[in-house]
C-alpha cells in the first residue's frame, strides 16, 4: 500500500471517528433524558405497553451506544497502527491485508483468511 492510499484511508477513519463520537454523545444525552423520564418524575402511571416500549427503546439505545463505542475502539486501533507504521498488516498472520478489503473496512485488522477462520470458530 502506498502513502496516498494510507492517507486516504486515514482521512476516512478520522471522519468516521468524528461521526461516531458525535453519535455516542447524542445517545448518551438522550439516554440521560430518557432515564429521567423513566424514573417516575411524571405524575401519570404508564400503561404496561408504554412501559414495555420505553424499556425496548432504552435497551436499543444502549446496544447502539455499545456498538458505536466498539467501532470507535477499532478505529482508534487502526489510527494507532497508521502512526506506528504497521497499518495494513494482519495482526494475526502478518500478511498484508488487501487494499480492496481496507477500502471496504478501513479499520480491518485481519486479512480475509484470518477473518474467515475467526468467524467459523
Per the listing, cell 467501532 goes with: 71
* % pLDDT > 70, the chain: 83
Q: What is the model's pLDDT at position 37?
A: 58
Instruction: Using the predicted structure, report yes or no on whether residue 61 has a pLDDT greater than 90.
Output: no
Q: What is the model's pLDDT at position 108?
A: 97
pLDDT (average), residues 62-85: 93
H helices of 1-121, in order, are 3-36, 48-84, 99-104, 112-119
pTM: 0.76
Instruction: Using the predicted structure, report yes or no on whether residue 7 has a pLDDT greater than 80.
Output: yes
CA distance 37 to 29: 13
pLDDT (average), residues 53-74: 83
Please, what sign has the CA dihedral across residues 3, 7, 8, 12? positive
97, 98, 100, 103: CA torsion to nearest 10: 30
Write the pLDDT tens digit of every residue in 79-92.
999 999 999 999 99
> Which pLDDT band, with edges at 50, 70 and 90, does 12 fall under?
very high
pLDDT (average), residues 56-81: 88
Amino acid at each position: 500500500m502506498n502513502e496516498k492510499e494510507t492517507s486516504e484511508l486515514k482521512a476516512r477513519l478520522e471522519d468516521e471517528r468524528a461521526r461516531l463520537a458525535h453519535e455516542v454523545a447524542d445517545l448518551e444525552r438522550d439516554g440521560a433524558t430518557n432515564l429521567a423520564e423513566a424514573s417516575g418524575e411524571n405524575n401519570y402511571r404508564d400503561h404496561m405497553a408504554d412501559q414495555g416500549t420505553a424499556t425496548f427503546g432504552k435497551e436499543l439505545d444502549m446496544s447502539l451506544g455499545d456498538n458505536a463505542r466498539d467501532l470507535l475502539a477499532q478505529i482508534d486501533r487502526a489510527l494507532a497502527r497508521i502512526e506506528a507504521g504497521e497499518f495494513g498488516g494482519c495482526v494475526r498472520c502478518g500478511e498484508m491485508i488487501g487494499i480492496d478489503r481496507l477500502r471496504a473496512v478501513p479499520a480491518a485488522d485481519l486479512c480475509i483468511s484470518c477473518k474467515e477462520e475467526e468467524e467459523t470458530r
